[in-house]
Every structure is written in structure tokens, then in C-alpha cells.
Homo-oligomer: A and B are copies of this chain.
Amino acid sequence: MCSVLMPRAPLRRVAVTGGTHGNELSGVYLVRHWLQDPSELQRPSFSTTPVLANPAAAAACRRYVDCDLNRAFTCTLLLSRATPDDPYEVTRARELDQLLGPKASGSDQAFDFVLDLHNTTANMGTCLIVNGSHNIFAMHLSHHLKLQFPEVPCRVFLHQPLQSAAPESNTLDSVAKNGMTVELGPQPQGVLRADVFSRMRALVASALDFMELFNQGTAFPAFEMEVYRNLGSEDFPRTEDGDLAGIVHPQLQDRDYEPLQPGAPIFQKFSGEDVRYEGHATVYPIFINEAAYYEKHVAFLRTEKLVISVPPLPALPPPLRVSNPSGTTGPVFPSEQGS
């Protein structure tokens, strides 16, 4: 994704993607429903396209068929020459890049925003994953969603560590001009819970409402917001052969976003002894005991909790606003994005 600060033109094309992981069912079934009946996605000033991102994995109710689709959106993979031996998800990533991007060109062809829908088995509640705090539009969208659902804690996770040489984003939302990932839990893989389903549906509706407000010329003032920033991951204890030697400690399980002090127990070995956290500072674990991360050697992510100041999102200048909120799409403007 190019380094978007804030759009200077209305959003025209938005995609809502589900089933990037085929066993995270809230997004799978919301997208399947919207493909039949897209009425609740419609807004006056822009089009919204529902996309089932990994149809083969969704059909098999598995995270992926050959490899994790949501790690396949690197420019290297997207631009490499296709071969018959390519993993299914690499081929599918190229198709999605054609549909929603292309990522590499930075051209006007790409969708303006991708909202990618996920579930986690961790006790994460509502988590909005933004690449970094420089993404002013996504930060304002997150702030809007937090205010819309005050009864449910809604956290913002900055995925990319604050490093001068942050790694290239490899996730689906990186193919469009801008994007965000919605992560709801806890929900087991292969299960559709009504409470999580309704929450995701309401979040998507509210996100589209925010985009409509922006397109209509609403200005959004500066604010301060609590965020969790990625510091890296912690693996399970392992045997010499690499097998699991223990399990997330009961005192850590389900305590996503809570402070973890140095010396606190984080794992319980099968042999009975505790493993304690050896870091030097308090961290805030998230994605604790996420099923899909066992194979990635991630028992949880360490984050730091920060309060950051987000600058205002100014109103679009009048000539650029969509001035017709009556239900028809407003005039088409050249796409302009800050960098």
C-alpha cells in the first residue's frame, strides 16, 4: 500500500472482503449473503463490492488450501510469472490484485478502500487492524467505529512496528489504495456465532456510513486515541523436536489487552512447571492462543499501549464533494490520494 495519509477525493469504489481465511465464518457468510442481496451495502455516493476472497478455502472450511492468502500480497509474489505449480492462494492473490488493485502501480485503477473481515479464536472482542498511525483516514474510521459502539470495547491495533524500514505489507487490504482489517472474536474456526455475526454486520454498516459522511463533505476533528502497537511475537515452549511442550497459562488465557508484567506466568508446561515472561517491560498481549498461529510459532503478540494524537481529517473542498445525497452517485472526480 502506498503511504496514504488522507484521501483528497471522494471514495468511489469500496470492497468488503470476507473468507480471506475460509474457516473464519462471519465474513464468509456475510459476503455470501451480500452477493445475493447487496442492498444493505448501498450508499449514495460510492459503490461497495462484496468479495469472497478465498472461495476454495471457504468451500473446504479451512484457513487456506495451500498457503496463507493473507501473507501472499507481496509485490514479489504478485508480479512474478505465473506457473502451473503456483500454490492456489498465490494465483488467487494475483486475481484479487487484478480485481482490487493493482498494488504495484499505485495507479488510479485500484479500489479506494478494502475492509477485510476476519475472526479470531482469541478473546479479542472488536479489534480494528490498521497498518500504522500515518493512515489518518483509517484512524478516523476507527475512531468513528469506537464512538458508534460504546457498549463493546473496540481496540485499534497498529500492525506495523514503528521502524524506519518496516517490512512490506503482505495482507489483502494492501492491494487497494487504502484499507483496514476487522478482527472479531472469540469465535471458533468453522463456527458462526450470532453475536459475532451481528457485530460484524453492524461494524461494516457503520464503516460505510463514515465513508458516506466523508464523501458528503464532513470534516472530522483531531482526537487522541489509545492504540496497541506491535512489538513482535512470543512462541510456545517447544521440545527439541519442535513440538509443543506447554500451553498458554490459565492466568494469561483470555486476557488480551491486559498488562503482562515481567515475571508473570505465560505458559504451563505439560510436565507441570510454569514458564514466566522474561521481558523487561510491561507489554499488552493480543491474539492469545489464536488457533491459526500455532503453525506460525506465535502463542501471542506483544504490544505496547500508547495514546496517540491524530490530526483532523479535513472536509473535502466543495468542488470535490459528492453534492447529491439523493441516492444517485455523484459526479466522478479524479482520484487523488496524499502520499
Contacts and interface: CB of A to CB of B under 8 A. Distances in A.
A301 to B, nearest CB: 16
Given A29-B270, A33-B270, A243-B32, A189 B192 contact: no
A323 interface: no
A216 interface: no
A292 B190 contact: yes
Contact of A249 (B189, B194, B294): B194
Contacts of A289: 191-193
Given A61-B294, A294-B61, A192 B29 contact: no
A314 interface: no
A45 interface: no
A151 interface: no
B250 A194 contact: yes
B291 A197 contact: no
A99 interface: no
A247 interface: yes
A192 B292 contact: no
Interface in A248-303: 248-250, 253, 268, 270-271, 289, 291-292, 294-295
Contacts of A187: 188
A247 B294 contact: no
A191 B29 contact: no
Interface string A47-85: 000000000000001100000000000000000000000
Nearest to A194: B250
A170 interface: no
Given A33-B270, A188-B189, A194 B247 contact: yes
B253 A188 contact: no
B190 A291 contact: yes
A224 interface: no
A206 interface: no
Contacts of A195: 250, 253
Nearest to A239: B36
A151 to B, nearest CB: 15
A244 interface: yes
A192 B6 CA distance: 42
Interface in A100-128: 121
A247 B188 contact: no
Contacts of A243: 32
Interface in A26-42: 29, 32-33, 37
> Which of A187, A243, A244 neighbours the largest number of chain B CB atoms within 10 Å of its CB?
A244
Nearest to A188: B188
Contacts of A295: 61
Interface in A291-335: 291-292, 294-295
Contact of A291 (B32, B191, B194): B191
28 contacts: A29-B244, A32-B243, A33-B270, A62-B62, A121-B191, A186-B188, A187-B188, A188-B189, A188-B191, A188-B291, A189-B189, A189-B291, A190-B291, A190-B292, A191-B289, A191-B291, A192-B244, A192-B248, A193-B248, A193-B253, A193-B289, A194-B247, A194-B248, A194-B250, A194-B253, A194-B268, A195-B253, A198-B250
Please name the 5 residue pairs, one residue from A and one from B, whose CB atoms are nearest each other, closest first: A188-B188, A190-B291, A194-B250, A121-B188, A33-B270
